[in-house]
């Protein structure tokens, strides 16, 4: 087990330093609009979900921080304080705080006007209700000692007539700016983009270009969050990552895999080479010095209705760590030379060589050193 351009010790250290959050909501059985096939053993309560996160953390050594979703994980200060204790009791911390703007009022009847959006709603009352919820989330974030607020706007329109794009953008800017202004210097607003669903004609923040534009407009603290499953077919995700990194506005990731829509499948289960390329792109940025690994919030965001959700979480972590590790094995100095020559055939070989490298022995050694089970899914089942 020898690697040309990096020592084993360095690799083991990087594996240890790599952080990735698990999403509390991903421990429940997911579903489609057709059906949710809940089983009697599925996790349903916040206690269940944190228990799942705890198990994953114990079995993989990752997921020390758990992304939370409000109001799903708490509807008021007391519940959030309870959540903080629940996390502490399980040696976990809160990760990013996600504000749910599509059904944000669980304590009373859902406001059906939310179907016209939250921040972009034609109803001022709904817009204000939405931002109030986000303001609550900011408070709760501080209770939880979390520094990242994720804003995914589920807003858009379902037909050309429904809404003016100018109102859509104006309101998105206005309300996002108001959120950004409440943040402290060490807090970050992560703006997530998504091309469609639940809106089917236009989405307020459909692509990275919009997210970048907004993040530039609303303030220093605003950055862009890349969900790997939120792109139109054939998008080059690693390029988007690079361009965002270069713009200084890359803030974090939601990992999952997809083939058609926002499928929320296990990360790396369909396109492992793409996952590897995303990590290579980040490595290049780190090496060029304009991005720090700790600048980014890595999290899983997935929802499985077939596989057991907790097992799927472990599977994703294993895939991500493997591809992260492989990206560390790339000989970037050689790659740079090959690109300058230019020798694309050999440059591709340099990438592929690292991707095809077996990392079983390395991960085994890392797991042994950290007292982790070799087969976390097997252990989980027992």
Under the binding rule (CB under 8 A), the answer on residue 169 touching its own copies is yes
Residue 48 DSSP SS3: helix
Question: How many chain residues are in contact with its own copies, going by CB under 8 A?
Answer: 109
Applying CB under 8 A, which part among 61-69, 109-117, 142-150, 365-373 lies near its own copies? 109-117
Residues 8-47 that bind its own copies (CB under 8 A): 30-35, 37-39
Cα 49 from Cα 55, distance rounded (Å): 10
Nearer to its own copies, 149 or 163 (CB): 163
Closest CA to 327 of 79, 46, 3: 3
* DSSP 8-state secondary structure symbol assigned to residue 204: S
The residue from 322, 329, 354, 367 that contacts its own copies (CB under 8 A) is 322
Q: Which of residues 41-100 bind its own copies (CB under 8 A)?
A: none
**Which of 82, 198, 219, 373 is the binder for its own copies (CB under 8 A)?**
198
Q: Do the strands 202-203 and 93-99 form a parallel or antiparallel pair, or are they unpaired?
A: unpaired
Cα 166 to Cα 172: distance, rounded to the nearest angstrom: 10
Residue 179 or 204: the one with the smaller Cβ distance to its own copies is: 204
Is the C-alpha dihedral spanning 303, 304, 310, 316 positive or negative? negative
Here the tokens at position 174 are 């206005």
Q: Name the phi and psi angles at 120, rounded to 5.
A: -95, 5
**From 19-27, 76-84, 128-136, 260-268, span contacting its own copies (CB under 8 A):** 260-268
* Binding of its own copies by 116 (CB under 8 A): yes
Residue whose CB is less far from its own copies, 82 or 122: 122
Q: Can residue 227 be called a binding residue for its own copies (CB under 8 A)? A: no
Of the CA atoms within 13 Å of residue 2, those in its CB half-sphere come to 1
Neighbours of 358 (CB within 10 A): 10
Nearer to its own copies, 125 or 200 (CB): 200
Stretch that binds its own copies, among 7-15, 78-86, 182-190, 264-272 (CB under 8 A): 264-272
In whole angstroms, the minimum distance from the beta carbon of 88 to its own copies comes to 30
Q: Where does this chain touch its own copies (CB under 8 A) — which range of 5-13, 68-76, 143-151, 349-357?
A: 349-357
Region of residue 166 (phi > 0: left; psi between -120 and 50: alpha; otherwise: beta): alpha
Residue 108 interacting with its own copies (CB under 8 A): no
**Phi, then psi, of 310 in degrees rounded to 5:** -70, -40
């Amino acid at each position: 087990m020898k690697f040309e351009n990096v020592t084993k010790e360095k690799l083991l250290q990087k594996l240890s330093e790599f952080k990735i959050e698990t999403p509390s909501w991903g421990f429940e059985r997911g579903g489609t609009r057709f059906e949710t096939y809940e089983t009697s053993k599925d996790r349903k309560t916040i206690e269940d979900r944190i228990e799942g996160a705890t198990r994953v953390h114990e079995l993989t050594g990752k997921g020390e921080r758990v992304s939370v979703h409000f109001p799903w994980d708490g509807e008021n200060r007391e519940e959030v304080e309870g959540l903080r204790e629940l996390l502490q009791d399980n040696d976990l911390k809160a990760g990013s705080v996600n504000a749910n703007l599509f059904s944000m009022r669980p304590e009373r009847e859902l406001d059906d006007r939310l179907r016209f959006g939250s921040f972009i709603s034609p109803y001022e009352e709904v817009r204000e209700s939405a931002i109030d919820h986000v303001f609550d989330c900011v408070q709760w974030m501080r209770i939880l000692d979390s520094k990242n607020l994720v804003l995914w706007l589920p807003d858009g329109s379902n037909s050309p007539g429904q809404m003016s794009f100018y109102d859509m953008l104006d309101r998105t800017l206005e309300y996002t700016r108001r959120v950004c202004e409440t943040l402290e210097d060490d807090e970050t607003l992560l703006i997530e983009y998504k091309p469609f669903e639940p809106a089917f004609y236009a989405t307020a923040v459909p692509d990275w270009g919009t997210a970048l534009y907004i993040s530039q407009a609303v303030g220093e603290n605003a950055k862009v969050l890349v969900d790997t499953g939120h792109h139109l077919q054939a998008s080059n995700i690693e390029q988007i990552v690079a361009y965002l990194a270069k713009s200084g506005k890359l803030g974090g990731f939601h990992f999952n895999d997809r083939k058609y829509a926002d499928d929320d499948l296990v990360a790396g289960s369909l396109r492992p080479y793409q996952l590897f390329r995303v990590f290579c792109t980040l490595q290049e940025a780190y090496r060029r010095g304009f991005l720090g690994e700790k600048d980014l919030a890595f999290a899983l965001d997935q929802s499985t209705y077939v596989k057991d959700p907790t097992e799927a979480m472990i599977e994703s972590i294993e895939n991500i760590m493997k591809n992260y590790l492989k990206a560390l094995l790339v000989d970037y100095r050689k790659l740079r030379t090959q690109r300058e020559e230019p020798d694309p055939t050999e440059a591709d070989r340099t990438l592929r060589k690292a991707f095809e490298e077996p990392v079983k022995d390395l991960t085994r050694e890392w797991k042994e050193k950290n007292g982790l089970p070799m087969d976390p899914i097997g252990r989980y089942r027992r």
